[in-house]
Amino acid sequence: MEDTESRFMHFLQPIRDLTKNWEVDVASQLGEYLEEVRFRTLNAHIKLIGRHMLFLSPEAEHVFF
C-alpha cells in the first residue's frame, strides 16, 4: 500500500501546491504594503527654495523651475 501511495504522490503535489495559495494572510500583507506607502510618503518632501520648488525623495532628487 505504501508503494502505491508514493508512486502516485506526484499527482497530488500540484493540488497541495495550489492549497498553499489560499494560506496567504491577505490582511497582514495589505497592512505591510500600506505601511510602506506611508513611509515613502513621509520621506518625500516638497520644499520651496526661493522661486524654485525642490522635490526630494529617497529615490531621486528633482528640481522644478
Report if residue 54 sits inside a domain.
Answer: yes
Residue with cell 522644478: 64
Residue 56 covered by a domain: yes
Q: What is the DSSP letter of 3?
A: H
Q: What are phi and psi of 47, to 5 degrees?
A: -125, 140
Using only C-alpha atoms, the chain has a radius of gyration, in whole angstroms, of: 25
Q: In Å, how far are 2, 9, 16, 37 from 6, measured between CA atoms? A: 6, 5, 15, 47
Predicted TM-score of the model (pTM): 0.40
| 49 occurs within a structural domain | yes
Cα(16)–Cα(7) distance, integer angstroms = 16
The tens digit of pLDDT for each residue in 3-57 reads 767 788 888 888 888 888 778 888 899 999 998 888 777 666 555 454 555 555 5
Residue 44 cell numbers, joined:
518625500
Counting the structural domains of the chain, the total is 1
- Residue 1, domain member (yes or no): no
* Range(s) of the domain holding residue 49: 30-64
2 falls within a domain: no
Q: Tell whether 59 is covered by a domain.
A: yes
Res 65 pLDDT > 50:
no
